[in-house]
Structure 1
Amino acid sequence: MFDDLPLTVDRTADEPLSVQVAAGLRSAATTGVLRSQDRLPSSRALAQRLGVSRTVIAAAYDQLHAEGWITGRTGSGTYLTTAPAKAPNRAVSVVATDRNPDLLDLFPGAPCVEAIDRAAWRRAWRTAADADPGVRKDRAGEPEFRAAIAEHLLRHRGLGAASDTDVIATAGTSSAVGELAAALLRPGDTVAIENPGYQRAVGAFRAAGIRALPVPVDSGGLRVDLLPSHIAAVYCTPAHQFPIGARMPAVRRVQLVEFARAAGIFVIEDDYDGELRYDTAPLPLLASMAPDVVVHLGTTSKILSPALGVGWLVAAPRITEAVLAHRYRTGTGPSPAGQRVLTELAGHGDLARHLRRLRRLLPPRRELLVSALRGRGLDVIGDDAGSYLVVPLPSAEAEARAVAAGRAAGLDLDGLTRHHLREPTEPATATPTEPHTFGVALGYTALDWSDLAVAAPRAAACLAGLDLR
Structure 2
Amino acid sequence: MVQIPPVPLDRDAPTPLAVQLADGLRSAAADGTVRPGDRLPSTRALATAFRVSRTVTAAAYDQLLAEGWVAGRVGSGTYVTAIPAEMQRTGAGRSTSPAEPHLGEGGAGAAPAAPVQRAGDAEPGAYELDPGRPCVAALDRGMWRRAWRAAADPAPDDRPEPDGLTGFRATVAEHLLRHRGLPAGSDDVLATAGTSAAVAELARLLPPGATVAVEEPGYRRAVTALRAAGCVIAPVRVDDDGLVVDDIPAGCAAVYCTPAHQFPLAVRMAAARRVALIERARVEDLLVIEDDYDGELRYDVAPLPLLVALAPERVVHLGTASKIISPTLGAGWAVAPEPVRAAWRELRADTGTRPSPAGQRVFTALAGHGDLSRHLRRLRRELGARRRLVLAAAARAGWRAHGDPAGAHLVLRPPATDRRTEPALVAEAAGRGVAVRGLATFHDGPPRTSGLVVGYAAGSRDDVVTALERLLPGGSAARPDPGG
Tell me what 1:145 maps to.
168
- Name which of 125, 128, 133 aligns with 2:148: 125
Tell me what 2:458 maps to.
446
Matched, 1:325 2:337: no
Find the aligned partners of 1:346 and 1:286 in 2 and give their Cα distance: 25
Secondary structure (helix, strand or coil) at the match of 1:386 reads: coil
1:283 CA drift (Å): 2.7
Find the aligned partners of 2:297 and 2:315 in 1 and give their Cα distance: 21
Contact 1:402 1:462 in 2 (8 A): no
Contact 2:330 2:359 in 1 (8 A): yes
1:383 CA drift (Å): 0.6
Matched, 1:316 2:328: no
- Name which of 412, 415, 419 aligns with 2:435: 412
1:101 CA drift (Å): 3.7
Task: Give TM-score scaled by structure 2 length.
Answer: 0.72
Secondary structure (helix, strand or coil) at the match of 2:323 reads: coil
- Amino acid corresponding to residue 293 of structure 1 in structure 2: R
Change (3 A) 1:312 1:462: farther
1:396 CA drift (Å): 10
Secondary structure (helix, strand or coil) at the match of 1:380 reads: strand
Tell me what 1:182 maps to.
204
Q: CA deviation digits over 1:251-298, x for unaligned, max 9?
A: 111110001000011100000000000012233100111101000000
1:401 CA drift (Å): 1.3
1:350 CA drift (Å): 0.6
Matched, 1:231 2:243: no
Find the aligned partners of 1:396 and 1:300 in 2 and give their Cα distance: 40
Q: CA deviation digits over 1:17-68, x for unaligned, max 9?
A: xxxxxxxxxxxxxxxxxxxxxxxxxxxxxxxxxxxxxxxxxxxxxxxxxxxx
Structural mapping, 1:69-88, within 5 Å: none
Larger radius of gyration: 1
Change (3 A) 1:462 1:417: farther
Matched, 1:271 2:292: yes
Secondary structure (helix, strand or coil) at the match of 2:183 reads: coil
Matched, 1:343 2:364: yes
- Name which of 245, 248, 257 aligns with 2:269: 248
Secondary structure (helix, strand or coil) at the match of 2:215 reads: strand
Matched, 1:171 2:187: no
Tell me what 1:289 maps to.
310
Contact 1:194 1:216 in 2 (8 A): yes
Q: CA deviation digits over 1:320-358, x for unaligned, max 9?
A: 111111000100010000000000001111111111111
Matched, 1:108 2:131: yes
Question: Paired residues, what number?
Answer: 358
Secondary structure (helix, strand or coil) at the match of 2:288 reads: strand
1:463 CA drift (Å): 9.8
- Amino acid corresponding to residue 334 of structure 1 in structure 2: P
Tell me what 1:84 maps to.
none
Identity of aligned residues (%): 55
Q: CA deviation digits over 1:383-435, x for unaligned, max 9?
A: 1110010013579952111111111111011111010013xxxxxxxx42x3x
Structural mapping, 1:391-402, within 5 Å: 391-392=412-413, 398-402=421-425
1:178 CA drift (Å): 1.0
Find the aligned partners of 1:442 and 1:234 in 2 and give their Cα distance: 26
1:373 CA drift (Å): 0.8
Tell me what 2:183 maps to.
160
Contact 1:298 1:312 in 2 (8 A): yes
Change (3 A) 1:244 1:360: same
- Name which of 158, 162, 167 aligns with 1:135: 158
Find the aligned partners of 2:313 and 2:213 in 1 and give their Cα distance: 19
Find the aligned partners of 1:449 and 1:401 in 2 and give their Cα distance: 26
Find the aligned partners of 2:226 and 2:335 in 1 and give their Cα distance: 19
Structural mapping, 1:19-30, within 5 Å: none
Change (3 A) 1:408 1:171: same
Find the aligned partners of 1:298 and 1:144 in 2 and give their Cα distance: 17
Find the aligned partners of 1:226 and 1:367 in 2 and give their Cα distance: 34
- Amino acid corresponding to residue 346 of structure 1 in structure 2: A
